[in-house]
Structure 1
Amino acid sequence: MTELGYQVQVLAPYDEAVIRARLAFRSEGFSVLSEMHVGGMLGPEAGDKRQYLIMGVWNAPVDQSEVTKDLTVGVHLPCNLVIEEDGEVSLVAALDPLDAMDPQEQIDQEVANKARAALARVLGKVSEEPAA
């Protein structure tokens, strides 16, 4: 866990980490809504040309029931995950949904706890070494 959320190191190249993330999200009932490849936009001041992907995901079975209760919960959706090339390994990170929620909003807390548990499972799957 980092200051902003969760981060795992994946002992695999960037392209494989992206595939693992897509498969892990699918296994947890998430749909990938958007992918923004922004590595080339980091600019020369970043000092590198590594690949960097922002992936927006949505877990319809979990999130849809909460959105129908309170439409404002949608401002917290979708969840975003980043995948960053770091030499021969990759870094995968996601914001802790509880950090993005107002502690006074009960519905938001329920959604955040469900999303937090699902994201933790996804990151665990992404960082696992494939069976030989």
Structure 2
Amino acid sequence: MSNATTYALSTTVAGSVENTATKTRAALAEQGFGILTGIDLAATLREKIGADIPPHLILGACRPPLAHAAVTAEPSIGLLLPCNVVIRAEGDHTVVEAMDPATMVTLTGNPALAPVADDARTRLLAALTALGGTPLS
């Protein structure tokens, strides 16, 4: 996996957003993440403002032990937790992205978050790799 941006871990896969979402949920579960929320951004924008965008889902993923350790080290970290996993259509493929947990350490300057970020990053990379896609550059 490589960073499409300086703050994202991402991969691109063949297949629909729906099929990729199913595989992504399973890959995240294998790494101990549960899915707390799911937002169909394309449907929401179409309903609320009549905008038409390609399929775009946002999954709210959480690994409670990591979230607890992060909140213990930095009480306001909920603002930066790498909880969202985005699954979106881009041309004839699907992109899966997650925030790079190292961003939490960089933005807060709190070294106590480094072990949490390292664990979360390892798990997110494993989930993305399990999807069998190719990294975005």
TM-score range, shorter chain: 0.7 to 0.9
Aligned-residue offset at 1:65: 3.6
The equivalent residue for 2:128 is: 123
Report % sequence identity: 25
Query: Which residue identity does 1:126 align to in structure 2?
Result: L
Aligned-residue offset at 1:75: 3.1
Are 1:26 and 2:29 matched, yes or no?
A: yes
Give the SS at the match of 2:21: helix
The 8 Å contact of residues 103 and 109 in structure 1, kept in 2 or not, is answered as: no
The equivalent residue for 2:38 is: 35
The structure 1 segments of at least 4 consecutive aligned residues displaced by more than 6 Å after TM superposition are 42-45
The 8 Å contact of residues 73 and 108 in structure 1, kept in 2 or not, is answered as: no
The equivalent residue for 1:99 is: 103
The 8 Å contact of residues 81 and 101 in structure 2, kept in 1 or not, is answered as: no
Query: How far apart, in 2, do the equivalents of 1:69 and 1:94 lie?
Result: 22
Give the SS at the match of 1:127: coil
Runs of 5+ consecutive residues of structure 1 not aligned to the other structure: none
Give the SS at the match of 2:76: helix
The equivalent residue for 1:2 is: 4
The equivalent residue for 1:112 is: 117
Aligned-residue offset at 1:96: 0.9
Once the two structures are superposed, residues 50-101 of structure 1 have per-residue CA deviations (whole angstroms, 9 ceiling, x without a partner) of: 2100111111133324434543333333521100023442111111111233
Are 1:79 and 2:79 matched, yes or no?
A: no
Aligned-pair RMSD on alpha carbons?
2.4
Aligned-residue offset at 1:106: 1.9
Structure scoring higher RCO (CA < 8 A, sep ≥ 6) equals 2
Runs of 5+ consecutive residues of structure 2 not aligned to the other structure: none
Aligned-residue offset at 1:127: 2.8
Are 1:58 and 2:58 matched, yes or no?
A: no
Query: How far apart, in 1, do the equivalents of 2:94 and 2:124 lie?
Result: 17
Aligned-residue offset at 1:49: 3.8
Aligned-residue offset at 1:103: 5.7
Give the SS at the match of 2:71: helix
